[in-house]
Structure 1
């Protein structure tokens, strides 16, 4: 990872944009700003930021469409900051390629916690190449830790950093039930109470990608009120 983290702030509301800028300045983060979707795409291409903070209600286009376009060439973590609080909006943004979702109004402390958590996930992904076991295989699911890639059969599955971190954690403890709190502590590190609902959303998007047969939970089993377990599958 670069010594100096660079963040792109995409926000058309000047007071909120100024609040975010001031917050980043106090933590010595380098940043660029964009006030609409077109400018965001230009800045993302030219500056290649490490993290993108993305508002959804942009004046020229919906932020979800901007995320989809960025995802055609970049895997930089995207943290959505939006007033849309419905789970359907969160799922749509995550399906488009967002990695995290922060609902307005938000506290400065929570924003910084999300950024720190995202940076830790990036460091975690970078460290995967040093794992003693290069490949994890379970049924048709394969995780190549060195390449940080996931395949279902011969098909490569595109996962966002958050989804990949969750999948690797479940794979490391295949067959064991991991509690919600354990997962939050390992993946979010400094978990916030609101992260439990986000965990459910991320698990839903992860399942859609690795379990294409709807209604048939194959790899990830939900233990209601407790947590999740990766099921050991015999290869066909």
Structure 2
């Protein structure tokens, strides 16, 4: 993906069965430099995804033919494209389910267009290289049977490529960059999602992404050896000992 809207118009696919929301978001996002395509239901969303190759999907949960969960599942089978879910006010189950299925973030309806614009910018930024401290100049980290290439944003478990979403990779990169150091959920929300401390965000966003990473990387996700829980604090990646370094 390009790092600037000037050199490349990033394309947003907006999926919502309410025509008024599609129209408002298409107008607002176009005004700030994005190319916008829309879909009115889940089946059309999948068709438009293949036809238009968007850079990010804004996806409503409740839709006819195929709901947002179904669309998210289908897209995750073949792509790590950023997905922001639009969920109902107060429906915590909607948010958690969407995150568990692979969404990167969510915005609660009713929402202000400015809030969604901010979330889009933040999520797209995660697809740029973070340049986290503690990453070797080669950009490649080996731990156990896991190989993490931060330049290519790719992860391998043995010889198998493990598909991570942009947010999953950014979270992993943050933890690995300071392996052995614990990060609070609030720190992670700020560093990875760009949420400022004064924002009251459900910290289960972090918990769900940690669970997804463990499921993909750990031999036994219920007894993790790589991504550890810091009791009373948050999470950390096991300390990586460099060759020749004393433990």
- Please say whether Structure 1 and Structure 2 have the same fold, judged by a TM-score greater than 0.5: yes
Query: What's the RMSD between the two structures over aligned residues?
Result: 2.5
Contact persistence 2:229–2:235 (CA under 8 A): yes
Runs of 4+ residues deviating >4 angstroms = 84-88
Query: Which sits farther off after the overlay, 191-200 or 156-165?
Result: 191-200
1:100-147 CA distance string (max 9 Å, x none): 22222223232112101012111227x79x971331112222212233
Equivalent in 30, 38, 55 of residue 33 of structure 1: 38
Contact persistence 2:41–2:67 (CA under 8 A): no
Q: Does 1:196 align with 2:212?
A: no
1:19-68 CA distance string (max 9 Å, x none): 32233133232201100112111211111111110112111112222222
Larger helix share, 1 or 2 = 1
TM-score, normalising length: structure 2: 0.82
**Which residue is equivalent to 2:146?**
141
Alignment of 1:85-164 (within 5 A): 86-124=91-129, 132-164=137-169
Equivalent in 139, 161, 180 of residue 185 of structure 2: 180
What count of residue pairs does the alignment treat as equivalent? Answer: 232
Q: Runs of 5+ in structure 1 lacking a partner? A: none
Give the 3 Å change call, closer, same or farther, for CA 141–44 of structure 1 in structure 2.
same
Counterpart Cα distance in 2 of 1:84 and 1:67: 20
Counterpart Cα distance in 1 of 2:115 and 2:231: 27
Contact persistence 1:94–1:205 (CA under 8 A): no
TM-score, normalising length: structure 1: 0.86
